[in-house]
Structure 1
């Protein structure tokens, strides 16, 4: 073919070469790509109900009435078996309410829908256990009596993954002890955020925080608690008037919420 192209004029050669190029572009445009497209998902107030059921049910100790909201945040991504094509990727790159991510970072366990759901729900159960241990450990360390017989059940339906851990722990602390002085951890505000938590109260990163800040603002939050390591990601698409507060441990997060309630200084990204 190259010898024949050499005998053609430049316009003729370009025209002939454009045919396979156009075919290649068309194939790429139609071919599925190894990406997932994410967007802001729902939020859930861990102090209230989710789909008609209490998120937190605590027994073994008296609980307190709370004001304000502690909203854990989510993202929604294209399913593990859904094809994402070039047009979807380009659209996602140019929209502030979309994010394009490698599919294996969203679904590291493969494309089997049932296996992905099982894995995510398993992560959520582990997160709930860690949140309960972290919250009760924090309360005991701060001299709160009567926590030895406390049992906690959390119900977030089919929401999976470990990223609700921090907010489940905060919800337990607020329901059992508030701010420690008779007030609410929220100060009556709607506070949103995200973060994994270990049984010892260490907060870890989760991913998707730029989308989660948008979900938080949409649902009325004025403060967003973000794992410190993800501050720059959270700032990337931060909605106007949403205050970012970096967090590293459960104890320091409670301290920041107390400072917010009193109008004091809190960390910032």
Structure 2
């Protein structure tokens, strides 16, 4: 065989071998890509995203789109060829697998966590919107989760209302940890609670719950990094009673990042006129009960997805501005927001056509 032919054959075989290796060798990476965007003012799967009963609502127009990111599953093993393609693709992003699934988190655990965060974001969106409208909302501190195998297991339950710890009234979720950590590990702590079932019955009957229980729990030592402290194995959260019904109908979505857009959608439906003036506005951001907007992940994917759907303005958490401004899709204006008040002010300018002084990312 001529030397040139042999060389070409050897090179071809080596290339084939490398391609095969690239296809079959897994790499520790995952991929993010633009996900669906949904207009919070419109319908999804045949029904309104926001459904409000017991309060007058008003017609809306335009778009207030929440945005999402698609990610590969926890058990998906990307190969080298896919990773390289993802790195080169403009609309996708390849990240270390542990970025999306830290500490070996399974698909089931991630889905459950995202569902819980999504549910909490809906509650905070409702509270933030109603506070802006000066509509009173009743709130109280509850047991959010109970750690399996902890001292609190089978003594406290998710949904129990925490009235006091060691006789000291609890007003905020942070009060619970502060009062528990006053103890040394191994000491007893006393919780005064309204059981979840009693609270649910009282809400249904529109009355104040009357039955409380005192639960004594022996603390244990924290096993996380940092200074050791007394714990009982719960996380505290906040629950609310609203003066009318607000339902958010959106399946197959998780995480807390739609909070801001839900809050704006609720506000729009409960006020005369249109927040957008018919414009196509999208956005993202967590929101807390006080209306503060927090950062999210995958901002670059969300701006791409929003622009592809037709968005002209994108409400961007201030802490995400730097990343979003690095590669802004053409024709999309990134509007920086820190609070729901910032977003409402920006929307006023947008619907009025007075956009020259909008607080933009990168300026």
Report runs of 4+ in structure 1 exceeding 4 Å deviation.
23-29
Q: Which residue of 2 aligns with 1:137?
A: 131
Report the equivalent of 2:262.
168
State the distance in 2 between where 1:64 and 1:188 align: 14
1:84 aligns with 2:78: yes
Aligned match of 2:306: 216
**What is the rounded CA distance, in whole Å, between the counterparts of 1:104 and 1:202 in structure 2?**
28
Deviation at 1:33, TM superposition (A): 2.2
Match of 2:328 in 1: 238
Contact 1:67–1:184, Cα closer than 8 Å, also in 2: yes
1:55 to 49, 54, 61: 49
Alignment match of 2:67 (pick from 68, 73, 76): 73
Q: Which residue in 2 is equivalent to 1:266?
A: 358
Equivalent position of 1:108 in the other structure? 102
1:1-28: CA deviations, max 9, x gaps?
xxxxxxxxxxxxxxxxxxxxxx999767
Secondary structure of the residue that 1:140 maps to in structure 2? coil
Superposition RMSD in Å: 2.2
TM-score by length of 1: 0.83
Any idea what SS the aligned residue of 2:36 has? strand
Q: Check conservation: 1:191, 1:224, Cα contact below 8 A.
A: yes
Give the one of 31, 34, 37 matched to 2:28: 34
Matches within 5 A, 1:247-262: 247-262=337-352
Aligned to 1:204: 294
Cα offset, 1:225, TM superposition: 0.7
Give the TM-score of the pair, scaled to structure 2. 0.62
Instruction: Indicate the structure with greater helix content.
Output: 1
Equivalent positions of 1:146-185 (< 5 A) are: 149-177=243-271, 182-185=272-275
In structure 2, distance between residues paired with 1:222 and 1:211:
16
User: Separation in 2 of the partners of 1:132 and 1:206?
Assistant: 19
Show structure 2 runs of 5+ residues with no match: 1-16, 136-240
Give the 3 Å change call, closer, same or farther, for CA 37–200 of structure 1 in structure 2: same
Post-superposition offset of 1:111 = 4.5
1:109 positional shift: 6.5
Q: Which structure 1 segments of 5+ residues have no match?
A: 1-22, 142-146
Larger Rg, first or second structure (1 or 2): 2
**Which structure carries more strand by proportion?**
2
Question: Deviation string for 1:138-162 (max 9, x for gaps)?
Answer: 1118xxxxx9623211111111111
Paired residue total: 239
CA contact (8 A) 1:109 1:115 kept: no
**CA deviation after TM superposition for structure 1 residue 215, in Å:** 0.6
Shift of 1:176: 0.3
Aligned to 1:118: 112
